[in-house]
Amino acid sequence: MSPPPSPCGSGSPRRCALAAASGAIPRAPVSLTRDDGKLDFRRLMVVIAVMTGTLLEIIDSSIVNVALPDMMGNLGASLDEISWVVTGYILSNVVIIPMTAWLAGRFGRKRYFTGSILLFTVASFFCGFAHTLPELVCFRVIQGLGGGALLSTSQAILVETFPPQRQGAAQAIFGVGAMLGPSLGPTLGGWITSNWTWPWIFYVNVPLGLTAAFLSSRFLQDPEHLRGRRGIPIDYVGIALLIAGIGALQFVLERGERYDWFEDNTIFALAVTAAVALPAFFVYELRCKQPVVDLRVLRHRALAAGCVFGVAMGVGLYGSVFLFPVFTQSLLGWTSWQSGLAILPSSISTAIMMTVAGRLVWRIGPRPILWFGITVFLIGLVGMSHWTLESGWDDLFWPQVCRGVGLGAMFVPVSSVTLGSLPAREVQQGAGLYNLFRQLGGSFGIATLTTVLHRSHAIHHAYLSEHVARLDPETTLRLSQLAHGFQQRGLDGASAHDAALAALSSALHGQASILSFEDCYRLVAGLFVLLLPMVLLLRRPPARVLPSH
């Protein structure tokens, strides 16, 4: 077998060494890069593998929520008990995400990525096969450990697979899975549980996972900068602080609202644990020579700004996905299947916009696309804040489309700039932190919006009730009209009066709910308005030369 051609061509060793020292030799993996950056067969197989892995992890984070009622009945669990199926997965997932760079360096990216897909797939099978709640929660935790590697590792692979001028397309490919998953998960979950049984939401992962694992083991290759890191020492203190800090923080965000936040001793103790462990983790890791999470990578301005945008996009993506089914099902009376179908226009518009943004980000730069994305997303939020109890499909359609277009236009330039400007050996670590911040942003957004939704409802309900006194002439007239209507339906006077009071109370509840949703959408809009000046921190990543093969 002839040796691979040198990236220096026919130049002398001295010239090659000088080129390497000056940074002229690119950092892309040799096995996947070509001068023109076109999609050859090997690169296509890698793209399919990482895309499948991304979709598996993201969809599985939300698909389970629809099946929880069926699981409760089948496993004999309460709502609080069955929620551990979701909490256990998210806890293990969010803890492993920042460690992916260290694990990929210690075991090799190909081995670690393929092993994580297999671990996720095997755990999925046993989740469907579980007969008790403890079994299901245990395998969900294992599934989260496998799934945590898929997002950041997939994104790092795509960054190093494609040249700079095609980073927009690469991030669009990744974004299709990352951004569509939360929207498609409930729809797919509703269809599966309606036509089959809940174990099939896990069984469908098996053939897809095995396919992704085969393609990864067959076509993925470790980049040179990772091959020298195998066998690096284990940072036991850093791992312990990371698990304590991130795990406690995620638990507080996941369960805090359910337990009335700091009124609960467990939530208070875990909040204190996170407040102590996370600063200690940052200080220790910055001083450690071989840290499990290299926080020094945040010295890059683009990555630091991208992580802030990641938090906001997590709030915007997961928060809006959380609010939509609550609104349509609890206030409009839609089924989970109808709600899932109604969110599809947003998903489709996101995919289309990502394709467009992927082509434009290198030509016109990230800032115009990002300005456009934030503006359209804000327009969508304004439209959502005007939904009422009488809103129908047509009223919900265009705000959802604006939401999808805005998120798609934001994701591609932010991801391209955030990771495209990093040195090759720091891409995996940067991707891990970027995805961690987006995941934490989603958890923080859902926790905050849930609290705002409940407390805002109580405030609006109390305010409306104060202005609807029984002796008020307008209230008396309205009660009389309602009672007359119920009497015409055949009710006697006393029953009609009681029904009129119940109808008025229901109207107050519905109006208070509408106002609380309006507050939530305005809160998210305010967050994105504050982000507008940060667009100036994102610049087009520098170009680099690619080797010929």
The pLDDT tens digits of the residues spanning 160-218 come to 777 666 666 666 777 676 666 666 777 777 778 777 888 888 888 899 899 989 988 88
Contacts 24+ apart (CB under 8 A), 254-263: 254/86, 254/87, 254/90, 254/91, 254/443, 254/447, 255/83, 255/87, 256/447, 257/447, 257/450, 257/451, 257/454, 258/80, 258/83, 261/451
Q: What is the pLDDT of residue 26?
A: 35
| Mean pLDDT (whole number) for 123-139 | 89
Q: What is the pLDDT of residue 7?
A: 38
Q: What is the pLDDT of residue 14?
A: 36
Cβ atoms of residues 292 and 235 within 8 Å? yes
How far apart are alpha carbons 9 and 17 in whole angstroms? Answer: 12
Q: What is the dihedral of CA 506, 507, 512, 513, to 10 degrees?
A: 70
Q: Is the pLDDT of residue 370 over 70?
A: yes
Q: Is the pLDDT of residue 230 over 70?
A: no
Q: How confident is the model at residue 1 (pLDDT cuts 50, 70, 90)?
A: very low
DSSP state string for 115-164: HHHHHHHHHHHHHHH--SHHHHHHHHHHHHHHHHHHHHHHHHHHHHHS-G
Q: Is the pLDDT of residue 228 over 80?
A: no
Tokens of 369: 């696309």
Reported as a single tens digit per residue, the pLDDT across 410-456 is 888 888 778 777 777 788 788 888 888 888 888 888 888 888 888 88
Q: What is the pLDDT of residue 325?
A: 79
How far apart are alpha carbons 92 and 147 in whole angstroms? Answer: 9
| Mean pLDDT (whole number) for 288-301 | 82
More confident residue, 467 or 457: 457
Q: Is the pLDDT of residue 10 over 60?
A: no
Q: Is the pLDDT of residue 393 over 70?
A: yes
| Mean pLDDT (whole number) for 76-96 | 79
| Mean pLDDT (whole number) for 329-340 | 78
Stretch among 73-77, 322-326, 389-393 having the lowest mean pLDDT:
73-77
Q: What is the pLDDT of residue 31?
A: 37
Name the CA radius of gyration of the chain, rounded.
26
Mean pLDDT, the chain, as a whole number? 77
Q: How confident is the model at residue 117 (pLDDT cuts 50, 70, 90)?
A: very high
How far apart are alpha carbons 28 and 412 in whole angstroms? Answer: 20
| Mean pLDDT (whole number) for 268-291 | 87
pTM score: 0.73
Q: Which residue has the tokens 């009223």?
A: 395
Q: What is the pLDDT of residue 380?
A: 92
Q: How confident is the model at residue 25 (pLDDT cuts 50, 70, 90)?
A: very low
How far apart are alpha carbons 1 and 39 in whole angstroms? Answer: 25
Q: List the helix and strand counts (H, then E) for the chain.
A: 21, 0
Please give the distance of CA 161 from its chain centroid, rounded to a whole number: 23
Please give the distance of CA 84 from its chain centroid, rounded to a whole number: 19
Contacts 24+ apart (CB under 8 A), 131-140: 132/75, 133/75, 133/76, 133/77, 133/81, 133/82, 133/84, 133/85, 136/71, 136/75, 136/85, 137/84, 137/85, 137/88, 138/88, 140/85, 140/88, 140/89
Q: Which candidate, 258, 547, 303, places its Cα nearest to that of 426?
A: 303
Stretch among 148-162, 183-197, 465-479 having the lowest mean pLDDT:
465-479
Q: Is the pLDDT of residue 24 over 70?
A: no
Q: Is the pLDDT of residue 35 over 60?
A: no
Cβ atoms of residues 297 and 305 within 8 Å? no
Reported as a single tens digit per residue, the pLDDT across 486-533 is 666 666 666 666 666 666 667 777 788 899 999 999 988 888 888 787
Q: How confident is the model at residue 79 (pLDDT cuts 50, 70, 90)?
A: low
More confident residue, 42 or 402: 402
How far apart are alpha carbons 160 and 548 in whole angstroms? Answer: 15
Q: What is the pLDDT of residue 442?
A: 82
Q: Which residue has the tokens 């195998």?
A: 230
Cβ atoms of residues 541 and 167 within 8 Å? yes
Q: How many Å from the N-terminal Cα to the C-terminal Cα in the chain?
A: 15
